[in-house]
Amino acid sequence: MPVITINGPIGCGSVTVGQMVSHDLDISFVDRLVFTQAARMVGSPVGVLIDKEQRVVRFRDRLGRFVQTMLERSAVAGVSGEPYFGRGIETLPPETFAELSGERPSTSEVDDKVFLEATTRVVHDLYNNGDVVIIGRGANVILANTPGVVHVGLLAPTVMRVETMMQREHLDRDEAEVYVRELDEAWATYFRKFFKTSPTDPARYHMMLNMEKLTAKTAAAAIVHACGDLES
Amino acid sequence: MGCGLLSLSMPSQRPMNRMSISVLGRTMFPDVSLVQVTREDVQRMRGWLNDPEVNTMWYGSDDDGFPLHLGYSPHTILESSHDEWQATFVSEDRKILSVYSADGEHIGEGQLAIEWPLMECQLVLIVGRKDLWHHHYGTMALIKLLDEAFSAQGLHRVWVDVPEYNEHALRMFRHVGFVLEGHMRKTHRKDGEWYDYYAMGLLVDEYSRRRARLMGTTAV
* Contact status, residue A33 vs residue B199, Cβ threshold 8 Å: yes
pLDDT band at residue A85, thresholds of 50, 70 and 90?
Answer: very low
Which helix (H) or strand (E) segment holds residue A122: the answer is: helix A112-129
B194 touches chain A (CB under 8 A): no
Q: In this predicted model, which residue has the larger pLDDT, A93 or B29?
A: B29
How many residues are there in chain A?
232
Q: Please give the Cα distance from A105 to B119 (Å, whole number).
A: 8
- Residue B215 above 70 pLDDT? yes
Locate the chain A residue with the closest alpha carbon to B183.
Answer: A29
Most A CBs within 10 Å, among B114, B122, B170, B185, to test the A interface = B185
Q: Rounded to an integer, what distance in angstroms lies between the CA atom of residue B158 and that of residue B110?
A: 13
- Residues in B touching A131 (Cβ below 8 Å): 185
Is the CB of residue A216 less than 8 Å from the CB of residue A20?
yes
Which among A27, A31, A125 is the nearest to B185, CB-wise? A27
Mean pLDDT of chain A: 81
Q: Please tell me what DSSP assigns to residue B130.
A: G
Q: Which residue of A has its CA nearest to B161?
A: A33
B89-128 residues touching A, CB cutoff 8 A: 116-120
Task: Tell me the nearest-neighbour CA distance from B116 into chain A, angstroms.
Answer: 7
Predicted confidence (pLDDT) at residue A2 exceeds the cutoff of 50? yes
Confidence of residue B165 (pLDDT cuts 50, 70, 90): confident
CB atoms within 10 A of CB B38: 12
* Per-residue confidence (pLDDT) for residue A67, from 0 to 100: 55
Q: Which residue has the higher pLDDT, A107 or A223?
A: A223
Using pLDDT thresholds of 50, 70 and 90, give the confidence band for residue A105: very low
Region B173-190: mean pLDDT is: 89
DSSP B30: P
Across the interface, whether the CB atoms of B116 and A105 are under 8 A apart is answered: yes
Q: Which of A4, A31, A123, A170 to mutate to test the interface with B (most CBs of B within 10 A)?
A: A31
Nearest-by-Cβ selection for B182 from A33, A47, A170: A33
C-alpha count within 13 angstroms, C-beta hemisphere, residue B73: 11
Measured in angstroms, the CA of A82 and the nearest CA of chain B are apart by: 37
Confidence of residue A62 (pLDDT cuts 50, 70, 90): low
Which chain B residue has its CA at the smallest distance from A129's CA?
B1
- How far CA B211 is from CA of A38, A207, B178, B208, in Å, comes to 28, 39, 11, 5
CB contact under 8 A, B201 and A36: yes
Q: Hey, are the CB atoms on B118 and A26 less than 8 Å from each other?
A: no
Q: Does B152 touch chain A (CB under 8 A)?
A: no
Cβ <8 Å between B182 and A28: yes
Q: Are B76 and B97 in contact (CB under 8 A)?
A: no
The DSSP call for residue A110 is P
B15 touches chain A (CB under 8 A): no
B26 pLDDT higher than 70: no
From chain B, pick out residues whose CB is under 8 angstroms from the CB of A1: none
Q: For the stretch A79-95, what's the b/e string if a residue is b when 16 or more beta carbons lie within 10 angstroms of its beta carbon?
A: ebeeeeeeeeeeeeeee
Q: At what angle do helices A112-129 and A173-195 cross, to 10 degrees?
A: 90
Q: Which tens digit of pLDDT belongs to each residue from B118-146? A: 999 999 999 999 888 888 899 999 999 99
Phi, psi of A80 (to 5 degrees): -90, 20
**pLDDT recorded at residue A232:** 52
Chain A positions in Cβ-Cβ contact with residue B120 (cut-off 8 Å) = 45-46
What confidence tens digit (pLDDT) does each residue in A8-21 have? 999 999 999 999 99
Asked whether the CA dihedral A164, A36, A151, A20 is positive or negative, the reply is negative
What lies within 8 Å, CB to CB, of B26 at 6+ separation is: B216
Evaluate if residue B86 carries a pLDDT over 80.
yes
Residues of chain A with C-beta less than 8 angstroms from the C-beta of B184: 28, 30
Smallest CA–CA distance from A105 into chain B, residue: B117
Say yes or no for a CB contact (<8 Å) between A46 and B118. Answer: yes
Q: For A145-203, what is each residue's pLDDT tens digit?
A: 899 999 999 999 999 999 999 998 888 999 999 999 999 999 999 999 999 999 999 99
Helix (H), strand (E) at residue A54: helix A46-54
* High-pLDDT (> 90) share of chain A, %: 57
How far apart CA A21 and CA A224 sit, in angstroms, is 6
Q: Enumerate chain A positions whose Cβ falls within 8 A of a Cβ in B.
A: 15, 19, 22, 26-33, 36-37, 39-40, 43-47, 50, 103-105, 107, 125-126, 129, 131, 169-170
Test B120 with A45 for CB contact under 8 angstroms. Answer: yes
| For residue A138, pLDDT beyond 90 | yes
Q: Give the contacts of A212 (CB within 8 A, at least 6 positions apart).
A: A156, A157, A160
Q: Facing residues of A144 across strands?
A: none
Residue of B nearest to A123 (CA): B1
Which of A112-116, B66-70, B209-213 has the lowest average pLDDT?
A: B209-213
Give the pLDDT of residue B213.
77
